[in-house]
Structure 1
Amino acid sequence: MIKEVYNVIGVMSGTSLDGIDLALISFKKETNWSFKIITAQTVSYPEHWFKKLKSLTSLERSELANIDEEYTSYLATVINQFIKQNSITDIDAVCSHGHTALHQPGFGFTLQIGNLPKLSSLIDQLVVCDFRVQDVDLGGQGAPLVPIGDRLLFKDYDWCLNLGGFANISSEIKNESVAFDICPVNIVLNKYVESLGFQYDDAGELARNGKLNNTLFDDLNALSFYKETPPKSLGLEWVEQQIIPLINSFELHTKDILHTYVKHAAFQIAKVVNQTNEASILVTGGGAFNTFLMEEITKLTSNKIVIPSSEIIEFKEALIFGFLGVLKLREEINCLKSVTGASQNHSSGKVYPVNYLDTV
């Protein structure tokens, strides 16, 4: 499907569980790619789905298969509502990341639920999805996948930093894309904020009012992941095995945990971006709204921090997964071996036409 203009819906559910991001985007290919977000929305998870998705790593594969069926149907309902509410009639594809249930690239396995073939029939649209599996099959980390979008859509910035469930970053170094996960962010902060009756720490004010525990700060920074070289990626399993038990062993007040963890995340992020001088850093993801976190990062770097429009902050990942789908439809490279460690660059993702189930 090679043409100059594509209208797609990008769909993303992140590990921070703040909801399903949907964005209707128009992409145009001239000399370079350009885009316009026409409309976008985040649909919060109902309580029962929030609880289910939080517990995915503890489930057996058979239980995950059942949830995959349920979640695909639920995702179809959300997408159909978005299409109906916005009177969307002419789109080339729905490009969906799904929701990561397990991510164990070291064992050759990654699973994003919500990517079953029936999705195309349930929404009556061509679907491009399941972008990570092929990369893992080729020996890669299956993450991060955003860097091809950073290279082609946000090339005016030296670093593109996303502060979501995890902090991840991408850059062009010596004409090659480099990208990796830095550290967990909201996936940890939100967990502890819940104990205070909140879904997230508004502007980081709870963390700001806590105190630094130097020993926990040092122990977090000593974790072996931070000594590894890219390509490298993180998953919820690592957080539950390494971060949470370490934090809980200190028996601190929640505000002190939040304060110390924000300082830790800022330290790890600054350590990466300070590899270059006089660089511009585009910051997106929910963490960009955490004023305390942004202040702590700014204190530790002399580089220029750029906060874009709230639309880009909130929907950049949905935007880029829409773009990955467009590249897949064109059979163009959307996954970079320099980033994931795969054996080759490739065009990743599965394409399900509307009548797919009738043809298999």
Structure 2
Amino acid sequence: MNYKAIGIMSGSSLDGLDIVFAEFQEQGGKWSYEILESACYPFDENLKIQLRDAVLLNALDYQLLHTSFGHYIGDKVNQFIKEKNLEYQVALIASHGHTTFHHPEKKMTAQLGDGAAIAATTQLPVVSDLRAMDVALGGQGAPIVPIGEKFLLNEYEYFLNLGGIANISVNQSPYIAFDICPANRVLNMLAQDAGKEYDEGGKMAASGNLHQDLLDRLNGFEYYKKPFPKSLANDFGTALIYPAIASANIPVADALHTYCVHIAQQIAASIEIGIKKSSFKAGGKLLATGGGAFNSFLIEKLKEKLKLLQIEVVVPEAGLVNYKEALIMAFIGVLRWRQEHNVLSSVTGASRDNIGGALWMGQPA
């Protein structure tokens, strides 16, 4: 079977809307893919502020933003289709939305970007609310990307996404994945303190110095002691980690340097604990994607830490680094369309594997 679908990702780093048009082929239970077109549409400053502060809105204004962001996503998809000459080629759209509230312990998660609004704007079938079913079944609702890694990128032992939050997947049976620590969301906030959108290539971090006292404080947060499965809300980084760094009152370059070391340490520590418990395989290759894979200083520190565990860090070509999550959102949508499991309970802790996503039929009957 052959499927051509659009996947959409709005990450916690608030850099923009990632859109991928991909073709998926299934033959005898084996899947292959090709990214045919891709683009990132940056958020303007006003929209960034709206998304960042959405958790502060009253109920009505939150719902109005949910609707308006859905229409915005639909408009961007229409623009993408027109720019890439994809009219009448797209069978399905899958949109992750923008995560605001995430409280799996209360069986609740929320992503902005109304699927009905996207479907109405594009006149195409849309799958949205990808995490909700898993959370309702007692799962973390995160990470959900591992289903795509398992079927599309099976040659690696580990998968690391360095997005707004750093999360890892372990390619084994049962499949394991969890959130490790905040990453680009906090790094970008620190870079913005120096008047830059982000620390390009990790150059500022590389020029800074390590502050051991701050590093020890960061490593002491209770979340890092919890066993997997576990997941993080964005406010762990914005409301706890960033203020802890800011209170140290150190130069931005030093803060970036120290936080990059913290990220690398937490990734290595998570893997080492898994190996010691015989949960994870020792050695192998780790595929690093997400915007943080372009941070040379962070990758350097990560390679230093993981070399001790005989794990090779692989950074793929830029297309997969930038658009892996959007690609897998499209794949999750295809599985939902086929009414097949698209979220793994071994990853999330839900009571069973599940078929996540609400389906909105944008075209007339």
TM-score, normalising length: structure 2: 0.94
What amino acid is the match of 2:135?
A: V
The separation in 2 between residues aligned to 1:260 and 1:232, in whole angstroms, is 24
Matched, 1:327 2:332: no
Q: Secondary structure at the match of 1:49?
A: helix
Shift, 1:249, TM fit: 1.9
- Is this contact kept in 1: 2:115–2:126, CA < 8 A? no
Deviation at 1:97, TM superposition (A): 0.5
Contact 2:129 2:358 in 1 (8 A): yes
Partner of 2:242: 244
Paired letter, 1:150:
E
Cα deviation code 1:274-293 (max 9, x no counterpart) = 43432110110000000000
Task: Give the CA RMSD over aligned residues.
Answer: 1.3
- Is 2:106 the counterpart of 1:107? yes
The worse-fitting range, judged by mean Cα deviation, of 22-31 and 101-110 is: 101-110
In the alignment, does 2:289 pair up with 1:284? yes
In structure 1, distance between residues paired with 2:362 and 2:353: 28
- Say whether residues 1:6 and 2:3 are aligned partners: yes
* Alignment correspondent of 2:145: 146
Contact 2:200/2:295 (CA < 8 Å) preserved in 1? Answer: yes
Q: Which amino acid is the alignment partner of residue 346 of structure 1? A: N
Higher deviation after alignment, 115-124 or 288-297: 115-124
Supply the distance in 1 between the matched residues of 2:251 and 2:322 (Cα, whole angstroms).
30
SS at match of 1:102: strand
- How far is 1:354 from its partner? 1.6
Q: What do residues 36-72 of structure 1 show as CA deviations (whole Å, max 9, x unaligned)?
A: 0001001100111011112122223332111111111
The 10-residue stretch of structure 1 (324-333 or 234-243) with the greater mean CA deviation from structure 2: 234-243
Q: 1:215 and 1:60 mapped to 2: Cα distance?
A: 39
Q: Which residue of 1 aligns with 2:298?
A: 293
CA distance in 2, matches of 1:95, 1:162: 20
Note if 1:97 corresponds to 2:86: no
Corresponding residue of 1:318: 326
Alpha-carbon deviation of 1:355? 4.3
1:1-360 maps to which residues of 2 (within 5 A)?
A: 4-31=1-28, 32-88=30-86, 89-173=88-172, 175-274=173-272, 275=275, 276-302=281-307, 303-355=311-363
Q: Partners of 2:300 and 2:49 in 1: how far apart?
A: 32
How many residues are aligned here? 353
The structural deviation recorded for 1:86 is: 0.7
Deviation by residue 1:167-211 (Cα, 9 ceiling, x = unmatched): 1011133x1110000111001000011121211101100011111
8 A contact 2:98–2:113 mirrored in 1:
yes
Distance of 1:63 and 1:23 partners within structure 2 = 30
For 1:42, give the aligned amino acid.
C
Residues in 2 aligned to 1:240 and 1:193: alpha-carbon distance in whole angstroms: 14
Output the CA distance in 1 between the equivalents of 2:260 and 2:201: 12
Q: CA deviation at 1:13?
A: 0.5
SS in 1 for 2:124: coil
> Identity rate of aligned residues, in percent?
39
SS in 1 for 2:15: coil
TM-score by length of 1: 0.95
Aligned partners of 1:115, 1:105: CA distance in 2, in Å?
Answer: 20
C-alpha distance in structure 2 between counterparts of 1:40 and 1:90, whole Å: 14
Structure 2: gaps of 5 or more residues: 276-280
* TM-aligned CA deviation for residue 95 of structure 1: 0.8
User: Could you tell me how far apart the structure 1 residues matched to 2:118 and 2:333 are?
Assistant: 15
**Contact 2:124 2:362 survives alignment (8 Å):** yes
Residue type matched to 2:45 in 1?
A: E
Give the aligned residue type for 1:120.
A
Letter in 2 for 1:345: D
Contact 1:159 1:273 in 2 (8 A): no
Following the alignment from structure 2 to structure 1, what is the Cα–Cα distance between the partners of residues 205 and 312?
24
- Report the Cα offset of residue 241 of structure 1: 3.0
Secondary structure of 1:176 counterpart: coil
C-alpha deviations, 1:12-43, integer Å up to 9, x for none?
Answer: 01000111000000000013100000010011
SS at match of 1:41: strand
What runs of 5+ residues in structure 1 fail to find an aligned partner?
A: none
Question: What do residues 253-287 of structure 1 show as CA deviations (whole Å, max 9, x unaligned)?
Answer: 11111111001001011123343432110110000
Inter-partner Cα distance in structure 2 for 1:247 and 1:16: 18
Deviations 1:293-318 (A, max 9, x none): 00000111121111111100000000
SS at match of 2:204: helix
